[in-house]
A = this chain, B = another copy of it.
Amino acid sequence: MSSPKPPKKTHSVVPGQTVTLEQVAAHAGVSPSTVSRILNGTAVVSPAKKAAVEAAIQELGFRPNPVARGLAGGRTMSIGVVTQIISSPFYGEALLGIEEQLEQAGYVPLIVSGHWRDVDERKALQTLLARRVDGLIVFAGRLSAADLLQEAAGLPLVVMGRQVQGPQAFSFSFDNRKGARLATEHLLAQGHRRIAFVMGDPVHDDAADRYQGYLDALAAAGLAADPALLTQGDYTEGGGLLAITHLLARGQSFSAVFSCNDQMAIGAAHGLRRHGLRVPDDVSLVGFDDVVLARYAMPPLTTVRQSMLDMGHQAAKAVLDQLAGRPPQVQLPAPELVVRDSTRRLAR
């Protein structure tokens, strides 16, 4: 057997190394506290020592240990993120936005899924708290606002898609009602009168708001909403397929469908097709969110643009703001209808 080759020391920068702050201090001829102060900007130090320390850090390739920092200072430089289903393109885009934004500030997202289940969300929050995350970003789920606030236990909290009032809670939503109204008005303007609505779980504010926007548009046009045209799904393609199938089985007739999100819209398109109804020739279809697949659906889906990437950015910015003691601010884009090929004027 050959002799084990010693790890080549590039200077002293070796991956997996364990250069400590103490070593840096020794190397620079100062005390550990001084190094710490320079690292955190906690106090003013003399330029000379500062330079020496910075040189030592460079030379030794020192990186502060977040774990130790977490224990000592209580800051882990990580933000807990509660999504519902990590594999969903909807959440995926938002997570990307969050990650991008946090990275710049040296934070890392700790992502845990709630699976749309009360207990799982609660467990997720507890896991995150146990891990001592510095802040929380939560996507609207099933947990009550009160429970959410209680579990968050005073940590900076940003909630997307639901209003939550609390001392350190900041919540914001896309203007779902307006967006849904836009979508419905578009269909109305094309002459559609019997517009089916595929709702999400009304427990969620966004689903309820979008339904409200649909009603708004109908009312403004002097139309009454036909409850028989209302159906519900679980935000997935399969759910949309099921919902539209039920509607058709009930023998309802309609010339357009407005779905609470793109994924269900795409499922609905399949359901319609199975019943010999073509989109948009026989039935116009509008989604919501404008996830990537909306553009590549066949036909490309008319939808309401809600950039989840942007929402993710905003959410991350908001926690970061709270962490920095700044009042969180978000710049939400106005709802915008993206007209593609899944809608057309009602042939009379």
Contact = CB atoms under 8 A, between A and B. Distances in A.
Interface string A260-273: 00000011011001
A235 B254 CA distance: 38
Contacts of A188: none
A36 to B, nearest CB: 16
Contact of A130 (B65, B88, B112): B65
Contact of A67 (B126, B132, B273): B132
A11 B83 CA distance: 30
Contact of A110 (B108, B292, B298): B108
Given A66-B131, A273-B298, A86 B76 contact: no
Interface centre among A68, A71, A126, A152 (most CB of B within 10 A): A71
A63 B86 CA distance: 26
Interface centre among A95, A131, A270, A273 (most CB of B within 10 A): A131
B96 A92 contact: no
A152 to B, nearest CB: 8
Interface in A60-103: 63-68, 70-71, 76, 85-89, 92-93, 95-96, 99
Contacts of A7: 146, 150
Nearest to A93: B87
Contacts of A346: none
A130 B63 CA distance: 7
A16 B153 contact: yes
Number of this chain's copies in the assembly equals 2
A122 B152 CA distance: 34
A31 interface: no
A151 interface: yes
Interface centre among A66, A152, A300 (most CB of B within 10 A): A66
A111 interface: yes
Given A88-B92, A273-B298, A298-B269, A15 B153 contact: yes
B15 A150 contact: yes
A273 B297 CA distance: 12
A293 B92 CA distance: 14
Contacts of A112: 99, 108
Interface string A12-38: 001111000000000000000000000
Contacts of A299: 298
B237 A295 contact: yes
Nearest to A63: B130
Nearest to A4: B146
Interface of A: 7, 14-17, 63-68, 70-71, 76, 85-89, 92-93, 95-96, 99, 108-113, 125-127, 129-132, 146, 150-155, 237, 266-267, 269-270, 273, 292-293, 295-300, 309
20 contacts: A15-B126, A16-B155, A65-B132, A66-B132, A67-B132, A70-B70, A71-B71, A86-B99, A87-B92, A87-B95, A87-B96, A99-B113, A108-B127, A110-B110, A111-B111, A237-B292, A237-B293, A237-B295, A237-B296, A273-B298
